[in-house]
Chain A
Amino acid sequence: MARITIDDVTKRFGDEEESIVAVDDVSLDIRDGEFIVFVGPSGSGKSTLMRIVAGLETQTEGDIHIGDDLVNQLGPRARDIAMVFQNYALYPNMTVEENMSFGLKMSTDMSDDEIEEAVTSAAEMMDIDMLLDDRPGELSGGQQQRVALGRAIVRDPNVFLMDEPLSNLDAKLRAEMRTEINRLQNDLDVTTLYVTHDQTEAMTMGDRLVVLNYGELQQVGTPLECFYRPANQFVAGFLGSPSMNFFEGAVEGGTLRADGFDFDLTEQMQSAVGSRNELVLGIRPEDMTLHDRANSGHEFEAVVDVVEPMGSISYVYLQARSQSHDQTFIVETDGQRPISEGQHVYVEIPDEDVHLFDPASGETIHQRQLGEDAELALEEQMKPAE
């Protein structure tokens, strides 16, 4: 087991002049036994960063430490890591048993008996002991996934690297394997880096999230911290499904004039906004409420565009009635609430759930409020652990 330190790592692809920056000056401290999830859209550099840690790519600048060793010059075989690939990368010509023992044969002096024992126990752990004589081509996607995990576990490595390991599975299997990987990581307590573009995986799996975009680090924090205290508009929009709604507008004497409605800024918000003339208001679909009639000052009228019933809840796509541009936002409502397309409703934006962002930098200038208990719990999480 080991901690991993990533120090000012930059990776450029291509020639000096026409190079593409895949990872831009990223620094990160990963604690021993921690489960870290790299999350971001495609092209965010998350896979490249993991491949740099694996030794499959060499960084253009910066240092990587695994444990106490500087590993910049070391190839993957010297780093004592195990990796699970998106396409599983099982050796097609070998049986499951040979697949699992290959790494031990290559990297250790273990005797054949010891290897067999290790493979059998890892196979039992992954519930694939009856597949040991099969070849990968004969297995289903889920089984291949288990074998790929088993092949990583049997190595007993310092670090697990998982590159979108669940993205080729169907939804049900994915949910199952998510729990399984969580359980495994808890049991084995091995430092794990996990790459995903799926924000559900990111929220449910990691001890901490590393949110990346265009190769730049956006935020590092616990899932709830990133969700409730996003560092910027990108993180706020990326985490959560459906995404947070954003409304741009101009500030005029304590009021945000957005397209289609006005929003009165609280005193606290006004002091955070300072002298800015422009703002972006962010609010999650589940925090907005719909009313049939206006009953307080904060509502504005909107027309229902599309309704997506999900069962217990519905996603309602709305357009502000008096807007001048075509902009749709989403509100989550009770699934039992009767609502239909073309209907006029009143939308309420509660003050306490509003985030404010700087439109130029995207930086968060005002965070939403949380209940007292939630606030305490979050503060506890945000304390730097030692």
Chain B
Amino acid sequence: MATTDGDSATASQRLDKDTRETLVTAVRHTILLTWSFIVLFPLYWLASMSLKPPGTANSLPPDWIFLPTVYNYIQLFQDSGFVEAFANSLIMVSASVVLVLLIGVPAAYVLSRYDIPMERDVLVWILSSRMLPPIAVVLPFFIIFRELNLFDTRIGMVLMYVSINLSLVVWVMKAFFDGIPETLEEAARVDGATQFQGFRKVVLPAAKPGIFSVAIISFIFAWIELLFGLVLTSFEAVPVTLFVYSFIGSRSIEWGMLAAASTAMIVPVVIFLIAVNKYLAAGLSFGVVIKE
């Protein structure tokens, strides 16, 4: 009898434990689902607005069930202004990301590896470019751009984006290089590589997760930039953000078109994210870097 009692006691305990685990899982999932809903709802709202027929996009109460139409998208892509602005932004932002990496990554490497006089000051000086709110520097930039014939040029906007992102790239990459043991380069030099080969073949690949992380962040920062585009361009170098902004008129807002353009704007960022996703995961874990 005693044995049976013991068995049933353990069984009920096990049941208790199982129930508790199920409960914890259920709560965890509820929290995550709620969070996902909060995060994704605006995106859903945007996408659904872009797929609604003209005039119903902003109707109240909202039409939860409607016949989706790609009318807004067709309108959008028939507008040469949008296509041009979209292409402009893609070219300018991509070029700025390449340029900011070409300048920022070697700069960060040098700051990490060499004894630079007043290194701390140099780093703060680099960061100081981001210490003022953009609105405070936009007028001086406007005057400088006009004087240098950079106003309303793609090159001007590329330089602008580089200046926005450079401090981020230098600071993040310096921290990343600091985490890569210097013995790696020494091993490469002992193995017969020159200092530059050591950097290119050993350090740079080890820093790939960091490089892709700052690349995607730089891309997003430049891609969503509006203020400088508003002041420093007029026709030729208009970025897509400015074009989207133009749907907000003084008297009416074209909600359907605005939503379609905004949804289209998300696409390049998502593609870029998916492409470098593998490295981003590694960049967060630092798993590939040798333990000290």
Contacts and interface: CB of A to CB of B under 8 A. Distances in A.
A85 B183 contact: yes
A65 to B, nearest CB: 18
Given A106-B197, A136-B290, A137-B287, A91 B188 contact: yes
A330 to B, nearest CB: 34
B205 interface: yes
B208 A87 contact: no
Interface string B266-292: 000000000000000000000111111
Contact of A76 (B189, B197, B206, B287): B189
Contact of A106 (B181, B192, B208, B290): B192
Interface in B176-208: 181, 183-184, 186-194, 197, 201-202, 205-206, 208
A54 B190 contact: yes
A135 B205 CA distance: 13
Contacts of B186: 54, 56, 76, 83, 85, 89
Given A85-B183, A136-B290, A137-B287, A75 B206 contact: no
A240 to B, nearest CB: 31
B187 A83 contact: yes
A102 B191 contact: yes
Contact of A87 (B181, B190, B191, B202): B181
Contacts of B197: 106
A54 B193 CA distance: 14
Contacts of A291: none
Nearest to A54: B190
A76 B291 CA distance: 25
A81 B289 CA distance: 25
B181 A77 contact: no
Contacts of B193: 77, 102, 106
Nearest to A101: B191
A106 B206 contact: no
A91 B184 CA distance: 7
Q: Is chain B's binding surface mostly helix, strand, loop or mixed?
A: helix
Interface string B192-227: 111001000110011010000000000000000000
Nearest to B207: A93
A229 interface: no
Interface residues of B, number: 24
Contact of A91 (B187, B189, B291): B187
A83 B190 contact: yes
B191 A155 contact: yes
Contacts of B192: 77, 103, 106-108
A90 interface: yes
A92 interface: yes
Given A87-B291, A92-B288, A93-B205, A107 B191 contact: yes
Given A91-B202, A92-B206, A93-B205, A82 B190 contact: yes
Contacts of A83: 186-187, 190
A93 B288 contact: yes
A382 to B, nearest CB: 34
A89 B183 contact: yes
Contacts of B201: 91, 102
A341 to B, nearest CB: 41
B220 to A, nearest CB: 26
B180 to A, nearest CB: 8
A300 B287 CA distance: 60
Nearest to B204: A93
B209 to A, nearest CB: 10
B187 A92 contact: no
Given A87-B291, A87-B292, A92-B289, A102 B206 contact: no
Interface string A108-123: 1000000000000000
A315 interface: no
A110 to B, nearest CB: 12
A131 B291 CA distance: 19
B113 to A, nearest CB: 13
Contacts of B206: 91-93
B288 A103 contact: no
Interface of A: 54-56, 75-77, 81-83, 85-94, 102-103, 106-108, 135-137, 144, 151, 155, 161
Interface of B: 181, 183-184, 186-194, 197, 201-202, 205-206, 208, 287-292
5 contacts: A87-B181, A88-B290, A92-B205, A92-B289, A137-B290
Q: What 6 A-B pairs have minimum CB-CB distances, sorted nearest first? A: A107-B192, A103-B191, A106-B192, A93-B205, A89-B183, A89-B187
Given A76-B190, A92-B184, 15 more contacts: A54-B190, A77-B190, A77-B192, A77-B194, A83-B186, A89-B184, A89-B290, A90-B290, A92-B289, A92-B290, A93-B206, A106-B188, A107-B192, A136-B290, A137-B290
